[in-house]
Amino acid sequence: MEPPLLQQLDAVWLLPRNPRTPGWARAFFRAQARCWGVAPQIAEAAELALSELVTNAVRHARAPRGREIGVKALWDGACLRVEVADAGPWTDLEPRGHRPDCEGGRGLAVIAAVAARWGVEPRAHGISKTVWADFPVPGSGA
């Protein structure tokens, strides 16, 4: 007998590019994860990664005024995924070294440390990218 298919749930938010956006994204995500019943340790790790991804989009995505940041959370009971899409140019993102005396430069290293998998893809219409991170439930095989 095959296991039942899990329904995938998703939540999407379009947020402006401004300094308060990471906090809004965390609050919206936190409420959604609680609603879905995501285990606290998974939700907390995903929230940290989401915060770093949104912060990167606010700080580094050079996009025309008025372009929003797309934030998405997907949950199927076995894996939680967070995604951030921005209108910045497609680039191969890699965690970079940072100097101990610098404030920034650690975001992707943090994501790599807390997520099981992460990556970046060009969006279908070509002028932007989506960066994502996965957080599987331990023992789920996801």
Mean pLDDT of all residues belonging to the chain: 83
Could you give the CA distance from residue 106 to residue 104 in angstroms, rounded to a whole number?
6
Per CATH, the number for 9-136 is 3.30.565.10
Tens of pLDDT along 54-87? Answer: 999 998 876 667 778 999 999 999 999 999 998 8
Contacts for 53 with CB less than 8 Å, ≥ 6 apart: 82, 84, 107, 111, 131, 133
Q: Answer for the pair 95, 52: CB distance below 8 angstroms, yes or no.
A: no
